[in-house]
Amino acid sequence: MKFLTALLVMTTLALCNFACVAQPSGVYSKAQSDISHFNNALAQPVKFGSFRVLVELREGKKSERFWLNHVRRDENKYIGVLETAPRLRSTFKLRQEIQLEPTEILDWNYESRVTRTIYGHYNACEEFKALPTDEATEQITYWRLACAPSD
């Protein structure tokens, strides 16, 4: 049974590129309040990499959430690459660089180059914590999520 549950969770996450977005109150505000850790990690590219941010892009009444990869800072703004094909949006294209304000970031994550631990990713951590405790621990360990920032 554990195997089937793990397989289902892994398949779901793979299909939506970790972009399945839970919306419990506080997840995004916690990511926003901890964004200084993301900025500190961005300033240490030898130690950390794989910088990503979750954003919601709007076009009129339509909106779609995406993880932007290869994130970097340009003064007070962030620039990331859209590597998921938009389904509803016509103004954004695959592999397009998108510039955004810090307040537009819903979630973020980065990876230790040494341990491969993923820091941040508040949304995925929240989803895993909704599982029974032993399954949550198993998934968090499998995906190497720290569920907390690190500098």
Tell me: pLDDT of 24 over 50.
Answer: no
Nearest to 111 by CA among 136, 145, 142: 145
pLDDT tens-digit series, residues 48-100 = 999 999 999 887 888 889 999 999 999 889 999 998 888 876 788 889 999 99
What pTM does this model have?
A: 0.78
Q: For position 4, what pLDDT does the model report?
A: 52
Read off the pLDDT of each residue in 110-133 and give the average, rounded to a whole number.
Answer: 93
* Percent of the chain clearing pLDDT 90 (strictly above): 56
Cα 82 to the center of its chain, rounded Å: 13
Pair type for strands 97-100 and 77-82: antiparallel
pLDDT of residue 115 exceeding 90: yes
User: Is residue 106's pLDDT more than 80?
Assistant: yes
Burial of 119 (0-12, 13-18, 19+ CB in 10 A): buried
